[in-house]
């Protein structure tokens, strides 16, 4: 059709427009991709099931106190314990044999959940950085002769604190 030809006839103009939007287009694409990864991670967190049990598992060898038991000859019993901080102090809790499986599963779920949360936070950071980059690609230097500088990177202010610059 000849109608389509008219549109393609404006080739150079389209090319210019594409060239101008190229960097912001790439930034948009990257940001959208980061959002997809963030969203996928969020869905994974939403699928998480409990119960979660905070702490880490350890094994300890002990004697039971019965002088006729094999542990008195050095073949110690092994028992599992859960350790976690409690009010800033490390606390260890003995796990009865009948609870071992349940606690181990809960601890593993807890570990995975924390890991997913860390990844979510990292992906959120990536999104913020990419949004900032997108903003920079859209920034028009102004005024033309002596443009104002782009914004300073936001981050943790140095220790001692510097006054915030606009």
> How many whole angstroms separate alpha carbon 64 and alpha carbon 94?
13
Stretch binding Zn ion (CB under 5 A), from 23-31, 63-71, 121-129, 135-143: 63-71
> How many whole angstroms separate alpha carbon 81 and alpha carbon 166?
54
Least separation, in Å, of the C-beta of 77 and Zn ion?
5
Q: 3-class DSSP state for residue 103?
A: helix
Stretch binding Zn ion (CB under 5 A), from 5-13, 47-55, 56-64, 115-123: 56-64
How is 28-83 classified by DSSP, letter by letter?
Answer: HHHHHHHHHHHHHHHHHHHH--S----SEEEEEEE--S-TTSGGGGT--EEEEEEE
| 38 alpha-carbon distance from chain centroid | 9
Stretch binding Zn ion (CB under 5 A), from 8-16, 18-26, 71-79, 107-115: 71-79
Q: Please count the residues of this chain forming the interface with Zn ion, following the rule CB under 5 A.
A: 3
Stretch binding Zn ion (CB under 5 A), from 58-66, 105-113, 114-122, 156-164: 58-66
Least separation, in Å, of the C-beta of 83 and Zn ion?
23
Answer for which of 52, 57, 71, 124 binds Zn ion (CB under 5 A) is 71
69 near Zn ion, judged by CB under 5 A: yes
Cα-based distances in Å from 160 to 128, 153, 154, 157? 25, 18, 16, 8
64 near Zn ion, judged by CB under 5 A: yes
Least separation, in Å, of the C-beta of 66 and Zn ion?
5
Least separation, in Å, of the C-beta of 108 and Zn ion?
29
Residue 42: count of CB within 10 angstroms of its CB = 14
Least separation, in Å, of the C-beta of 45 and Zn ion?
44
- Binding residues (CB under 5 A) for Zn ion: these are 64, 69, 71
């Amino acid at each position: 059709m000849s109608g389509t030809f008219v549109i393609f006839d404006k080739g150079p103009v389209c090319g210019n427009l594409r060239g101008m939007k190229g960097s912001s287009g790439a930034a948009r694409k990257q940001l959208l991709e980061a959002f997809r990864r963030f969203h996928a991670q969020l869905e994974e967190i939403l699928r998480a099931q409990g119960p979660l049990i905070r702490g880490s598992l350890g094994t300890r060898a002990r004697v039971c106190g019965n002088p006729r038991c094999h542990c008195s000859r050095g073949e110690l019993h092994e028992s599992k314990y859960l350790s976690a901080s409690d009010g800033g102090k490390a606390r260890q809790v003995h796990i009865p044999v009948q609870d071992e499986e349940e606690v181990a599963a809960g601890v593993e779920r807890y570990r995975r959940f924390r890991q997913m949360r860390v990844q979510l936070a990292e992906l959120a950071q990536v999104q913020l950085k990419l949004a900032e980059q997108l903003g920079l690609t859209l920034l028009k230097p102004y005024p033309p002769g002596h443009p104002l500088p782009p914004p300073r990177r936001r981050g943790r202010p140095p220790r001692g604190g510097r006054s915030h610059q606009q």
